[in-house]
């Protein structure tokens, strides 16, 4: 029976009704499954466990023993084994199973581990039609995420990303999270340098920054708090690098981005928002919210 793909059209970014986890038989498999179990229980989701590779008795036995050890008895789950090119196969299975959130294990440095972290993870992050969570340090004793920072880029998707983050925060019982607006002052000055004298350039730059700040603040104020406070901070620096540095310095557990697309905001017309930096050197877990609306 063919899946009902109409369920994908204009499907909101949350709730996370169906989670998928793409696994490899690495030393961190148990930790990734433990983290996934926590997420499934927290959101009340059903689960799809995906392995891209040949199904054999040995690996099937290893996975069965782990699932029994972790105790998935109260979780509605199924395991899918499929051979093929990893990226296309994972994306196909996510579409077939109407997945809302795909979980992948990841190491912090992209060049250290290529299978699910390097080019595969980056390609999935660009192409996935569902949200993607990259776990940098999965643990067999998972802890809830306490500090969350969201990239507040000027984009129509951002309001949906903020609402999805608010949904996550409520489920984690977090009372607040931070939205960061990145401002690349040198590049902005260069982009408007032909507009006039130095004082005129400074005036235009200040007006643009204030306009963008007020616009983002207005979006935040339009969201029903539902018990979760959203704090807005301005961070100067290169897009991608600035929020990554901010998250590392302030010990955040999770960075949240919009899924990549053609940005429509004024700052994005001046310079490209760069999720690639964060993917290459992740300071913490990374959640990429895909908005279908």
3-state SS, one letter per residue, for 120-161: HHHHHHHHCCCEEEEECCCCCCCCCCCCEEEECCCCCCHHHH
pLDDT at 195: 54
Say whether pLDDT at 9 is over 50.
yes
**Which domains can be identified in the chain, with CATH numbers?**
5-135 (3.40.50.620), 148-289 (3.40.50.620)
Which whole number is the average pLDDT over 214-227?
93
Which whole number is the average pLDDT over 252-271?
67
Which whole number is the average pLDDT over 14-22?
97
Q: Would you place residue 185 in the very low, low, confident or very high pLDDT band (cuts 50, 70, 90)? A: low
pLDDT at 4: 67
pLDDT at 276: 76
In contact, 265 and 153? CB cutoff 8 Å: yes
Q: Tell me: the pLDDT tens digits for 90-108?
A: 999 999 999 999 999 875 5
Say whether pLDDT at 43 is over 60.
yes
Say whether pLDDT at 89 is over 90.
yes
Report pTM: 0.87
pLDDT at 293: 67
Which tokens is 176 given? 């607040």
pLDDT at 243: 94
């Amino acid at each position: 029976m063919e899946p009902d793909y109409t369920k994908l059209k204009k499907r909101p970014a949350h709730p996370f009704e169906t989670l998928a986890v793409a696994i490899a038989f690495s030393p961190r498999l148990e930790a990734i499954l433990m983290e996934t179990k926590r997420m499934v229980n927290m959101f009340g989701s059903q689960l799809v466990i995906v392995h891209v590779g040949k199904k054999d008795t040995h690996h099937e036995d290893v996975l069965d023993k782990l699932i029994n050890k972790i105790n998935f008895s109260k979780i509605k789950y199924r395991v899918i084994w499929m051979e093929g090119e990893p990226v296309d196969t994972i994306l196909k299975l996510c579409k077939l199973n109407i997945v809302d959130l795909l979980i992948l294990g990841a190491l912090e440095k992209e060049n250290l581990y290529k299978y699910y972290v390097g080019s595969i993870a980056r390609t999935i992050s660009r192409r996935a039609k569902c949200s993607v969570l990259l776990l940098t340090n999965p643990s067999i004793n998972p802890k809830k995420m306490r500090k969350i920072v969201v990239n507040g880029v000027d984009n129509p998707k951002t309001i949906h990303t903020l609402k999805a983050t608010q949904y996550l925060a409520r489920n984690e019982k977090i009372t607040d999270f931070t939205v960061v607006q990145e401002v690349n002052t040198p590049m902005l000055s260069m982009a408007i340098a032909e507009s006039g004298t130095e004082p005129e350039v400074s005036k235009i730059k200040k007006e643009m920054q204030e306009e963008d700040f007020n616009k983002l603040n207005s979006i935040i104020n339009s969201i029903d708090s539902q018990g979760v406070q959203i704090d807005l901070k301005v961070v100067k620096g290169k897009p991608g690098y600035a929020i990554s540095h901010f998250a590392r310095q302030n010990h955040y557990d999770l960075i949240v981005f919009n899924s990549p697309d053609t940005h429509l905001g004024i700052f994005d017309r001046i310079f490209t928002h760069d999720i690639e930096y964060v993917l290459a050197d992740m300071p913490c877990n990374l959640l990429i919210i895909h908005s279908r609306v």
